[in-house]
Amino acid sequence: MKFAFLIFLTSFVTSAAVPDFKITPVPDGKHKPFQKVFSQHINVFGVRVFGTAKTPPAKLRHIAIVLAEYLDNDENGKSDNPAVVAELVKRNAFMGVAENERAMDQLDHRAFERAGFRAGQGQFATETLPAGGRFDATLEEVLHLITHEGYANAYPKIFGEQPGTVLAECLDRARGGHFRRVPRRYPKGAWFTYDDRTCDYGCQCTEYLYWAITSALGAQSAKHRREEISSEWKLYNRELVRTRDPHIFKLITDAKYKLPTRFPDGKYEVK
């Protein structure tokens, strides 16, 4: 689920400080417009995580920790791919967290757009599940922000979310053809079959990349999870991605892009 708010500020600031996950009030300056909606704030390598007053602090902190784990996957206190983080910071990328879906719908999203903030990803506290059990949406929503705003802009010919990029060519193979709109029925043999007709081509790129990365990292292989995702994604483990979709596997494991090599566990400990 994406916020419709996001991006194009020319200011460029990067933060090399190791995240401490301290919750602070929303700062003044360029982020002041957020004070009308959010009262909690965490800074992760310059990428902001905002929470409403009713968002449980523990869940807000969990989202920030997962963000740090994705950006600093080896946990050495520095972002793995400075170019990607630079894009996120330049575009004022942020996570906006509300206590539930109804509260999210009631937010004045246009206020952020008017202030120039269009690079946001929304999440509900009710779908944030640090303790496990059901699948934790944090693992998906945070990765969407990183790939959609970071990788797609740092490497537009590779991870760009439009026809003709390397990612798009992989998407077309996975869906059994090039479809600008979601088809009513996918060809037999397609392994990515997302059927949400509100998800345009760029959105399909984002979703597909999420499935490929997380499956290669072992996040989708549990039996109950395979059953939950079977109508949308067929390659639920690393070996299936490697053998059935070798092009995307080669892309996401190419060391020069420094995509995550291990799945976040909700614990960020700088070594």
Per-residue pLDDT of the chain (271 residues; tens, 9 = 90+): 444 433 333 333 444 699 999 999 999 999 998 998 999 999 999 999 999 999 999 999 999 999 999 999 999 999 999 999 999 999 999 999 999 999 999 987 777 888 889 999 999 999 999 987 789 999 999 999 999 999 999 999 999 999 999 999 999 999 999 999 999 999 999 999 999 999 999 999 999 999 999 999 999 999 999 999 999 999 999 999 999 999 999 999 999 999 999 999 999 999 8
Domain match, 147 and 167 both = no
Domain boundary among 137, 154, 171: 154
Domain match, 163 and 150 both = no
The residue range of the domain holding 59 is 1-154
What is the count of structural domains for the chain? 2
- In sequence order, what are the residues at sequence separation of 6 or more whose Cβ sits closer than 8 angstroms to the Cβ of residue 56? 99, 125
In this structure, are residues 203 and 213 in contact, taking their beta carbons and an 8 Å threshold?
A: no
Domain match, 121 and 240 both = no
In this structure, are residues 135 and 221 in contact, taking their beta carbons and an 8 Å threshold?
A: no
Domain match, 58 and 76 both = yes
Domain match, 130 and 186 both = no
Domain boundary among 94, 129, 154: 154
Domain match, 178 and 260 both = yes
pTM of the model: 0.92
Domain match, 2 and 122 both = yes
Domain boundary among 94, 122, 154: 154
Domain match, 49 and 126 both = yes
Domain match, 29 and 130 both = yes
Of the candidates 40, 253, 260, 29, the residue with the CA atom closest to the CA atom of residue 150: 260
Domain match, 185 and 204 both = yes
